[in-house]
Amino acid sequence: MKRFRKKRWFALVLLVVLLVLFYSSDWLGKIMYPIQFRDGIEASSKKHKVDPLLVAAIIRVESNYRTDPRSKKGAIGIMQIMPDTAEWLFEREGFRSFSLADLDDPYINIEVGTKYLNLLSIQFKDNLTQVIAAYNAGPGNVNKWLKNGTWDGTFENVAQIPFWETRGYVQRVWYYYKKYMNIYADSA
């Protein structure tokens, strides 16, 4: 019986030591929070002046890097772009050669979604919390909330956002964005 207790105690101590050693380890973090399509994310982010880790966090929340999702509301692809938004971007932003069917390609989806994030960043003066909320609820809703005082546009007051889905979305994107910043900031 004593031998069993010693083995159990040793295993517990070993587990604690391993957890302490590897808790903040980059390689362990990269296993737990991988970024797929990194080359496409980095290229599109550089081109459109958007933080690649923000793009990765949005992809993580929108589709968890699955390339085939279609939402119940009709959003398409890895960044879950709404068809109306995509068609507006196709016309306005020089993506005339693309069609909605092209959004199934993760690299095209990332390119279009990243351009949209760039436009939202310009519109909301680089306030990431507002940009993230607008990506989910639409810029019209966010502008309305800001204008009528429903929400002050800060993360600290995200509970003021009237759409529960958007509140949770903003919190989840920030969670993954911070995780990615801690793990990948040196290599991004």
**18 belongs to a structural domain:** no
Which residues are identified as catalytic? 62
Domain that holds residue 133: 25-184
**33 belongs to a structural domain:** yes
**170 belongs to a structural domain:** yes
Using one digit for the tens of pLDDT, what is the confidence trace for 93-103?
A: 878 888 999 99
Say what the pTM is. Answer: 0.85
Count structural domains, the chain.
1
Identify the CA nearest to 132 among candidates 93, 103, 175, 101: 175
Q: How far apart are the first and last CA of the chain?
A: 52
**43 belongs to a structural domain:** yes
Using one digit for the tens of pLDDT, what is the confidence trace for 160-178?
A: 999 999 999 999 999 999 9
CA distance 163 to 83: 21
**124 belongs to a structural domain:** yes
Using one digit for the tens of pLDDT, what is the confidence trace for 84-94?
A: 999 999 998 87
**Three-state SS at 71:** coil
**13 belongs to a structural domain:** no
